[in-house]
Amino acid sequence: MLDIRDIRKNPDMYKERLGTRGIQPEQIDALLEKDQERRDLLVEAESLKKQRNDVSAAIAQAKRNHEDATEQIQKMRDVGSRIKSLDEDLDRIEAEQKDMASRLPNLPNPTIPVGKDEDANVELRKVGEVPHFDFEPKNHWDIGEDLGILDFERAAKVSGARFVYYIGAGAKLERAVYNFMLDQHAEEGYTEIIPPYIVNAASMYGTGQFPKFKEDVYQVNGEDMTLIPTAEVPLTNYYRDEVIPTEKLPVYFTALSPSFRSEAGSAGRDTRGLIRMHQFNKVEMVKYVKPETSYDELEKMTTNAGNILEKLGLPYHVITLSTGDMGFSAAMTHDLEVWMPAQDKYREISSCSNCEDFQARRAHIQYRGENGKLQFVHTLNGSGLAVGRTVAAILENYQNEDGSVTIPEVLRPYMNGMEKITKENNK
């Protein structure tokens, strides 16, 4: 949520910078008009409430003096009726203003690239050497199906498209990957959490998924329950409606959770494999920090995600997303994209975002600054990493000509010393 007081002071700046995210100037004007309407009604309501108090005092005085107070009583009734009507109007207008404001994305950091889509993203760095094969590399889904460690066909029978069964060594590999990730993040100072996988609408609102992106999630019919699209939601809402003791900051959380996404609007995209699923595991990182440190913390989080890929020996690059490609709640986002040999390109495996105080305003998460006044914290979130996509990258980058897959060395202790996945040892 953006600060309406700041929008009042700097409407042209908001129009310009939000314009880079597809927001029309008329939307800012409409919000400010609604805000002015609310403020005018509030002034009138407060004035009438003062008048009602004065009339009440006059009635009490008249009764003490045994005087006729009929006129004052009727006046108080008229004032009371008007106040009730104004309060109803205020409730309606405040709800309308909140809905309008809640649909505006975060203000982009002025240093990020401006553009309509991913074509304007800027590469920051490449890490690792892309592998070269003496044979035609296969897609991860072909590798997994040939080894018998992935079964998309039976998953489609049981659940539908964009689901998968991990089998034998495939299940061990998935488990090894996320246990490795959690252990690494714990060493980096993150507190491990096992969060709820179903949240209420207030939590979805707090992180920015509601009201704009309801079509992207799965909800329980007739109940205020939503399956989480990412552990960012329960982790960021952990301190919702609370004041975090200043001495606790910064707070680092990490969690493994399933993520559930309807993938609305993705028809025809990544219909095969592990890249775009309705259900997938993801290790998430979330931070609550003081505003003055949040961009340093973003760089650290990006490094934490990159460390996982480097220890797995997977080549990747880091890009800064443009204003038109960035997520709704983010002020700045660094994406990590891992090399996928069969596709001959990098694919997203982590997004690390600084949301500044955007989510904290929506979720009312504060701390006391040095002056003792309440301030909103800055929140950050990042994938550390998407587990299925990491498995896909391992299968493609570590594939061998005979169809086997070499296990990265750092994962072998998590797989009882297994060095390769073959058809014979897939148990």
Residues carrying an active site annotation:
261, 276, 348, 351, 389
Q: What is the 3-state secondary structure (H, E, C) of the chain?
A: CCCHHHHHHCHHHHHHHHHCCCCCHHHHHHHHHHHHHHHHHHHHHHHHHHHHHHHHHHHHHHHHCCCCCHHHHHHHHHHHHHHHHHHHHHHHHHHHHHHHHHCCCCCCCCCCCCCCCHHHCEEEEEECCCCCCCCCCCCHHHHHHHHCCEEHHHHHHHCCCCCCEECCHHHHHHHHHHHHHHHHHHHCCCEEECCCCEECHHHHHHHCCCCCCHHHCEECCCCCCEECCCCHHHHHHHHCCEECCHHHCCEEEEEEEEEECCCCCCCCCCCCCCCCCCEEEEEEEEEEECHHHHHHHHHHHHHHHHHHHHHHCCCEEEEECCCCCCCCCCCEEEEEEEEECCCCEEEEEEEEEECCCHHHHHHCEEEECCCCCEEECEEEEEEEEEHHHHHHHHHHHCECCCCCEECCHHHHHHHCCCCEECCCCCC
| 354 carries a ligand binding annotation | no
| 153 carries a ligand binding annotation | no
| 348 carries a ligand binding annotation | yes
Backbone φ and ψ for 372, nearest 5 degrees, come out as 85, -5
| 191 carries a ligand binding annotation | no
| 5 carries a ligand binding annotation | no
| 305 carries a ligand binding annotation | no
| 159 carries a ligand binding annotation | no
| 284 carries a ligand binding annotation | yes
User: Does the CA dihedral 405-410-414-417 come out positive or negative?
Assistant: positive
| 254 carries a ligand binding annotation | no
Q: How far, in Å, CA of 106 to CA of 319, rounded?
A: 19
Reading the block at residue 291, the tokens are: 């505003």
Cβ–Cβ under 8 Å, residues 50 and 43: no
Within 8 A by CB and 6+ apart from 426, the residues are: 147, 148, 149, 167, 168, 169, 170
Burial zone of 7 (CB within 10 Å; 0-12 exposed, 13-18 middle, 19+ buried): buried
| 102 carries a ligand binding annotation | no
Backbone φ and ψ for 366, nearest 5 degrees, come out as -130, 170
| 56 carries a ligand binding annotation | no
| 47 carries a ligand binding annotation | no
Q: How far, in Å, CA of 356 to CA of 371, rounded?
A: 20
* Known binding positions: 230-232, 261-263, 284, 348-351, 381, 383
Which residues sit in the known binding site for ATP?
261-263, 348-351
Binding-site residues for L-serine: 230-232, 261, 284, 381, 383
